Chain A
């Protein structure tokens, strides 16, 4: 797994609003710019944050990129990462 390439994409999504928008509207053009295999691309397209974390992707980068690139809330991130966990508990 290209953990570095995924971490790099997540860093870029966090820093570049245009890239984050394009990830939501034309994801293939974004993924094509990184050295990812089909399985990695599928996990990213589906924002399978728990599966990515379990494969060693940095959780801070996952959290930081998730909002701008997935367009989802912190609560949705937490639920996807750990369905049993409620933030603040």
Chain B
């Protein structure tokens, strides 16, 4: 039987891929975030995962308005990245746990989640920037699931939580002995491109982290359920909390959540957080 052994959620600021960008941070901020990623990496590695399932969004480099799924599962043999070079992202090629990925898609289509799927899904900085710090050897088979948290209209926060829960239930039904870790990336509050670019809403970020740390998914998914309300309080980048909510939905009760680090990073113009669910 497969089992979910840990979960991690964190921001995916592309700057975190660049050593020079880390040097821009005040020492206390840099130390706190590096410590958070180190703790998350140890939780991940200590869980001895066979598969890493990612919930991450896109930045119009993989999906566009000509064809834009709400939830897109990579089912091919491997995932290469980055989709578009930049930000000091390395060229990587990660194996996909293809059989389990196809199982999830089929379970969804037969069970009420109409996943789109791709035989050739590239990786984006949304997966890669955190994975540089969490899985630096790029050797854990992945199942990349792209969540539309960037191009309105989007699935609601509650829907993302529920789809995460559904994927979690798929793991429980997967008959092979497989240890699975979930990784959700994005957020927290940030404005990318609009007049408020550079703004961070620390109050929102801490509220959201507190909701997840308390396991209060009802509050986390309902207070800013409307697209416009979330956009106003957390920015167009804040919609990426959908990726965190999907992980929260997948987590079994015995894995306990904890916030590992948070910093409102002015130099990266992003409320930057890291949390984990572990036994």
List A residues at the B interface (Cβ < 8 Å).
Answer: 4, 7-8, 11, 14-15, 50, 53, 58-64, 77-78, 81-82, 85-89
Contacts and interface: CB of A to CB of B under 8 A. Distances in A.
Contacts of A81: 193-195, 197
A85 B65 contact: no
Nearest to B200: A88
B65 A88 contact: no
Given A14-B60, A88-B269, A63 B65 contact: no
Contacts, number: 63
Contacts of A60: 59-60, 150, 192-193, 236
B235 to A, nearest CB: 10
Nearest to B60: A11
Contact of A11 (B64, B192, B266): B64
B192 to A, nearest CB: 5
B59 A64 contact: yes
A89 B199 CA distance: 7
Contacts of A78: 197-198
Nearest to A66: B193
Interface in B31-85: 59-61, 64-66, 84
A50 B84 CA distance: 26
B269 A87 contact: yes
Chain A, interface SS category: helix
Contact of B195 (A15, A58, A85): A85
Contacts of A61: 60, 193
12 contacts: A8-B64, A8-B65, A14-B60, A59-B236, A60-B59, A60-B150, A60-B193, A63-B197, A64-B59, A85-B195, A86-B198, A87-B269
A29 to B, nearest CB: 22
B196 A63 contact: no
B193 A63 contact: yes
A53 B197 CA distance: 13
Interface string B256-269: 00000000001101
B151 interface: yes
B198 A63 contact: no
> What are the 9 closest A-B residue pairs judged by CB atoms, nearest first?
A59-B193, A63-B193, A82-B195, A87-B198, A59-B194, A88-B266, A60-B193, A60-B192, A81-B195
